[in-house]
Amino acid sequence: MMNLSTFAAAFILLLAAYCKLDPFHHSAIADFPDFRTFPVDMPPWSEIPTVRDPRNRLRNSEIKFLDQVQGPESIAFDPVGRGPYTGVADGRVVVWTGGAWSTFAETSPNRSEICDWKPAIMSYLKHEHVCGRPLGLRFDKRSGDLYIADAYLGLLKVGPEGGLATPLVTEAEGVPLRFANDLDIDDDGNVYFTDSSSLYQRRNYMQLVFSGESSGRVLKYDPIAKQTTVLLRDIMFPNGLSLSKDGEFLVFSQASGRLRRYWLKGEKAGTSEIFANLPGSPDNVRVNEKGEFWVAIHSFHTRLIHFSAFHPTYRKFLLKLPVSAKLQFLFHQMGLPGAIAVKYSVEGELMEILEDGGGKVVKLISEVHERDGKLWLGSVLMPYIAVYNLE
Ligand SMILES: *[C@@H]1O[C@H](CO)[C@@H](O)[C@H](O)[C@H]1NC(C)=O
């Protein structure tokens, strides 16, 4: 009879062989023969903020437009105050016209019935590269033009009347944008934007996160010279981006749980540094009237995420198991944590954390847009916009 340790050894051997061969093609990286894992530069555990919102104040939010907007990641209002405008899962930018949502803009010239409404938000992934997926949105205050970072179609612009957006940037230095994500515009009309990865597209978000690779870029588009400059390269998953209120610097969030600052003016211009450590993995960053930064957090860092950040071999082993990337993801962040919004001062100090622990009312957010005493909360995965009244 086989004793337990022999059995265990045999099991591990079989598992190892299985992972090596993945005969049924079930693992999260089965379709990525070049998949590699890298150490992630996450802050030391002791430097990760642990403050929480015991009152779960985001549960007092109002859920608006339920089932009228799918995956409204970013929220914008135009210079004359109309809106909100938001980009949704089917590839359109839609606008609230005080009674109904209507189509404002499209990013892809190739839309067809394959882009039409679907009940499950994940079903859109398959055709995103054809239909477009608008993420970051910002209006140029002077011209009223809307700039769009579309995950597949790059940086685009559409006039105040809407319609089909014009592509402005699809590559830089000969490297195509693979995952344009967020943007901001300075007073001269220059557009600063992030390309989260040169290797993985949005639909392979989880592979990108588990890989920890650093092919992301922060770029600048000059609309007069029509030129694109790479400001920072070899960045691990740059995501949301916002200029400071005075325009002296920009900050961008990184999946590793940091805000980085890039100086645009002054003696440090052209250099970057850590601005703040975040309590978890972030999405968009938006500045308020006072110049403070609101950051939407997808999930808190767990001990397991922290461990796996520094152990790429562990991540690679895990991903070879016949388990979908989605389940791996949920396991590492211990399920869905609910909505988390954090506010940082102009100097990068943590000022406020608002939560809905467990997502009782607001499940997940990707942007916190402060306007007239309210927080407009967008979410790339949810079928609503939540609105929270600041007390
Ligand atoms: C639209 O379709 C044409 C023809 O198939 C193709 O060449 C082009 O790249 C597509 N454009 C986009 C933005 O997908």
* Best residue among 110, 153, 168 to mutate for probing ligand 1, ranked by most atoms within 8 Å of CB: 110
What is the atom index within ligand 1 of the atom nearest the CA of 108?
A: 13
* Contact predicate 155/183, CB 8 Å: yes
The residue nearest atom 1 of ligand 1, judged by CA position, is: 110
pLDDT tens readout for residues 300-346: 999 989 999 999 998 888 888 877 777 777 777 667 779 999 999 99
Can you give the residue ranges of every domain in the chain?
A: 31-389
Ligand 1 pocket, CB under 6 A: 108-110, 130, 153
The residue nearest atom 13 of ligand 1, judged by CA position, is: 108
Residue 325's pLDDT is what? 73
Provide the token pair at 127. 């055709």
Residue 4's pLDDT is what? 61
pLDDT tens readout for residues 344-360: 999 999 999 999 999 99
Residues 123-146: what's their mean pLDDT? 97
The residue nearest atom 6 of ligand 1, judged by CA position, is: 110
What DSSP state is assigned to residue 194?
E
* Contact predicate 345/251, CB 8 Å: no
User: What is the Å distance from ligand 1's center to 9 Cα?
Assistant: 53
The residues that bridge with 222 in the sheet, in sequence order, are 227
Long-range pairs for 138-143 at CB < 8 Å and ≥24 separation? Answer: 138/76, 138/183, 138/184, 138/185, 139/76, 139/77, 139/78, 139/79, 139/185, 140/185, 140/189, 141/79, 141/185, 142/79, 142/189, 143/189
User: What is the Å distance from ligand 1's center to 110 Cα?
Assistant: 6
Residues 139-166: what's their mean pLDDT? 98
User: What is the Å distance from ligand 1's center to 302 Cα?
Assistant: 42
Q: Is 225 exposed, middle or buried (0-12, 13-18, 19+ CB in 10 A)?
A: exposed
Confidence band, pLDDT 50/70/90 cuts, at residue 76: very high
Residue 6 scores a pLDDT above 70: no
* 84 upstream amide cis, omega within 30 of 0: yes
What is the atom index within ligand 1 of the atom nearest the CA of 110?
A: 1
Residue 154: which of 126, 176, 137 has the closest Cα? 176
What is the atom index within ligand 1 of the atom nearest the CA of 167?
A: 13
Please give the CATH topology (third level) of the domain spanning 31-389: Neuraminidase (2.120.10)
The residue nearest atom 3 of ligand 1, judged by CA position, is: 110
User: What is the Å distance from ligand 1's center to 162 Cα?
Assistant: 21
